A and B are shown apart, each in its own frame.
Chain A
Amino acid sequence: GDSVTQMEGPVTLSEEAFLTINCTYTATGYPSLFWYVQYPGEGLQLLLKATKADDKGSNKGFEATYRKETTSFHLEKGSVQVSDSAVYFCALSDSRYGGSQGNLIFGKGTKLSVKP
């Protein structure tokens, strides 16, 4: 079945460092891809999404490009801030339902800590 694999955390960076969190997926169809963020004590919030190959999702300085050839959707940010400390989840929509209708399948999450 479909699955998502994220890099293991935790990731610790200094403020203004460059961030990459790797995400690869396995899917039989053409899923939509998502990044969610969970700040301490809160639920998950949609950070960005991409619905087809070569699409780039972006929000709050974060970016991720849907790469069908490498089945990847890596999250990047050029200069992280302390306020970016959170857990980041990669997800895809279950392609059993044609890619966009299905439920989301989540990775295990990557905890990011940014030090001042």
Chain B
Amino acid sequence: ETGVTQTPRHLVMGMTNKKSLKCEQHLGHNAMYWYKQSAKKPLELMFVYNFKEQTENNSVPSRFSPECPNSSHLFLHLHTLQPEDSALYLCASRLLSNAIYFGPGTRLTVL
């Protein structure tokens, strides 16, 4: 238990659906991240928010839309995804220059 929670833990959606992933931390961390973990590929950084401001978008397709309403919550809005977007989506947070702490992930399957 790292103090970073994610919901839902599992999600199955069709290509025309719209869904959102939620991440929450009450650790007082200032930075929050979305990572994508696919089979046989390195962990991919998607988005970074620092003090609620997006500081990095790692060339992510626009069908993924992040939202960070405050420093404790992070969302990933999903729209018209493709089957190749099926993966484990990991949220993480960090305080200043310390280590990154990960949530348990959302296992996403796009049919």
Chain A residues proximal to chain B, CB less than 8 Å: 32, 34, 36, 42-46, 49, 89, 93, 100-101, 103-104, 106-109
Contact = CB atoms under 8 A, between A and B. Distances in A.
Interface of B: 2, 4, 6, 33, 41-43, 45, 48, 56, 90, 92, 96-97, 99-105
Contact of B104 (A42, A46, A93): A42
Contact of B105 (A42, A46, A104, A109): A42
Contacts of B56: 103
A104 B100 contact: yes
B33 to A, nearest CB: 7
B102 A106 contact: no
A108 B103 contact: no
A72 B48 CA distance: 27
A89 B43 contact: yes
Contact of B99 (A34, A43, A89): A34
